[in-house]
């Protein structure tokens, strides 16, 4: 199959598969997996974790205490269905939010790992060594670790069972609990944007995986376990995230202002576009999308807005005065965690926010410099 545009291939090559599906949208991964069954001739490279260093014990505590030594709040109650949002709401995060439950996703000291995830017995973490960013791959079963220099971040599937990253030479890698796979060799400098998969990326063990990468000099591309590769959509310069059937993309960047669009990939249809926001990440249920002001810069974000994914309408905006948001992540379908720094106090904390303008402190303040980042959130950043 030629390396043509993904939207065209959907319309021309697998339209009959979509027509036979039950009512409702087919996801990007559904489309890719149906296409993957057409051809499975790609050479698969399986890598066994090398015992390159002394045994490393995988951290197991999800969040025992804060980096400052304070006890974290107690367990959080189970989530309940989120009611419909009327919005938009625009609020400023208070200096002292009301107390709340501790985060439901793993939190670590960001001075050790700026970005990390745990997949079963596999731990991936990005740290800084001698001025270089390094990905540590810790295999809890084999009690071994590897270090990949020059890898500054990775992406994680919605199921939380598959991770992907790119190396400086352009090689595209995936990992899961029990294995690793080099999917493809792209041009040097590509970066990961999203991965679809559910555990193993080996075709012999399932439907494989699809990794979406940004090239920096052209449209974003995809690579898959079966060897297929191509352009996601031609009139974009960056892919921010993919979730279900939607792709959040950036179409231009001019004089410090970004323009974006959300694209229905199977239907090759633009859902909405605009230049008010830089798009970030979809919620787990794909109904909402985080964004920030399109001309943001500096140490971090001064606001985070939740948009309706299919229309771009704002639901709620959270602003930070005299400080910034150093990291943010979806905790569940209806809650975000914001890692906040305050210039007034010189402290970091974590604030949980919902879709209605309600805020709670989810982790206590920690004294640290603005560039130290004592809190890091697990998963996609």
Query: What tens-digit pLDDT sequence spans the chain (381 residues)?
Result: 444 444 443 333 333 333 333 334 445 555 455 444 433 333 333 332 332 332 333 333 222 333 443 333 333 433 444 455 455 999 999 999 999 999 999 999 999 999 999 999 999 999 999 999 999 999 887 777 899 999 999 999 988 999 999 999 999 999 999 899 999 999 999 999 999 999 999 999 988 999 999 998 899 999 999 999 999 888 899 999 998 789 999 999 888 889 999 999 888 899 999 999 999 999 999 999 999 986 655 678 999 999 999 999 999 999 999 999 999 999 999 999 999 999 999 999 999 999 999 999 999 999 999 999 999 999 876
Residue 73 inside a domain? The answer is no
Residue 60, sorted as left (phi over 0), alpha (psi -120 to 50) or beta, turns out to be alpha
Residue 277 inside a domain? The answer is yes
Nearest Cα to Cα of residue 370 among 337, 345, 336, 350: 345
Q: Distance between CA atoms of 74 and 333, rounded to whole angstroms? A: 21
First to last CA, the chain: 34
Domain count, the chain: 1
CB atoms within 10 A of CB 197: 28
In the numeric block, the tokens 């090759």 are attached to 268
Residue 16 inside a domain? The answer is yes
Question: Residue 119 maps to which CATH number?
Answer: 2.130.10
Residue 75 inside a domain? The answer is no
The maximal CA–CA distance of the chain, rounded, in angstroms, is: 60
- State the pLDDT at residue 268: 87
In the numeric block, the tokens 């599937």 are attached to 157
Instruction: Provide the residue range defining the domain that includes 283.
Output: 6-67+83-377
The model's pTM is: 0.78
- State the pLDDT at residue 288: 97
* DSSP track, 265-283: TTTTEEEEEESSEEEEEE-
Q: Distance between CA atoms of 162 and 113, rounded to whole angstroms? A: 19
Residue 72 inside a domain? The answer is no
CB under 8 A, 24+ apart: contacts of 59-67? 59/108, 59/118, 59/123, 62/106, 62/107, 63/102, 63/103, 63/106, 63/107, 63/363, 66/363, 66/364, 66/366, 66/374, 66/375, 67/109, 67/111, 67/366, 67/368, 67/374, 67/375
Residue 78 inside a domain? The answer is no
Whether residue 330 contacts residue 312, with contact meaning beta carbons closer than 8 Å, is answered with no
Residue 129 inside a domain? The answer is yes
């Amino acid at each position: 199959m030629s390396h043509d545009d993904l939207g065209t291939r959907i319309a021309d090559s697998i339209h009959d598969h979509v027509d036979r599906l039950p009512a409702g949208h087919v996801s990007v991964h559904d489309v890719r997996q149906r296409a993957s069954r057409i051809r499975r001739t790609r050479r698969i490279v399986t890598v066994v974790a090398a015992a390159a260093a002394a045994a490393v014990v995988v951290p197991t505590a999800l969040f025992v205490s804060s980096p400052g030594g304070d006890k974290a709040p107690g367990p959080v109650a189970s989530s309940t269905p989120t009611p419909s949002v009327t919005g938009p709401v625009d609020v400023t995060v208070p200096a002292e939010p009301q107390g709340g439950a501790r985060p439901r996703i793993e939190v670590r000291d960001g001075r050790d790992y700026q970005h990390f995830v745990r997949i079963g017995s596999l731990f991936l973490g990005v740290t800084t060594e001698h001025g270089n960013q390094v990905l540590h791959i810790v295999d809890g079963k084999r009690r071994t670790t590897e270090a990949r220099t020059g890898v500054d971040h990775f992406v994680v599937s919605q199921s939380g069972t598959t991770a992907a990253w790119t190396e400086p030479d352009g090689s595209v890698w995936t990992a899961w609990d029990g294995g690793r796979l080099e999917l493809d060799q792209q041009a040097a400098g590509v970066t990961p944007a999203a991965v679809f998969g559910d555990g193993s990326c080996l075709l012999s063990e399932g439907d494989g995986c699809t990794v979406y990468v940004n090239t920096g000099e052209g449209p974003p591309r995809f690579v898959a376990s079966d060897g297929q590769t191509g352009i996601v959509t031609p009139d974009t310069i960056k892919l921010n995230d993919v979730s279900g059937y939607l792709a959040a993309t950036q179409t231009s960047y001019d004089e410090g202002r970004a323009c974006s669009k959300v694209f229905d990939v199977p239907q090759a249809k633009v859902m909405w576009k605009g230049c008010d926001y830089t798009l970030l990440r979809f919620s787990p249920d794909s109904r909402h999308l985080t964004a920030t002001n399109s001309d943001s810069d500096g140490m971090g974000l001064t606001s985070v807005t939740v948009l309706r994914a299919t229309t771009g309408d704002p639901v709620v905006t959270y602003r930070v005065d005299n400080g910034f948001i150093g990291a943010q992540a979806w905790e569940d379908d209806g809650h975000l965690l914001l890692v906040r720094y305050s210039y007034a106090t010189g402290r970091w904390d974590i604030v949980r926010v919902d879709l209605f303008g309600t805020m709670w402190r989810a982790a206590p303040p920690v004294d640290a410099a603005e560039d130290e980042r004592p809190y890091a959130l697990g998963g996609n950043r």
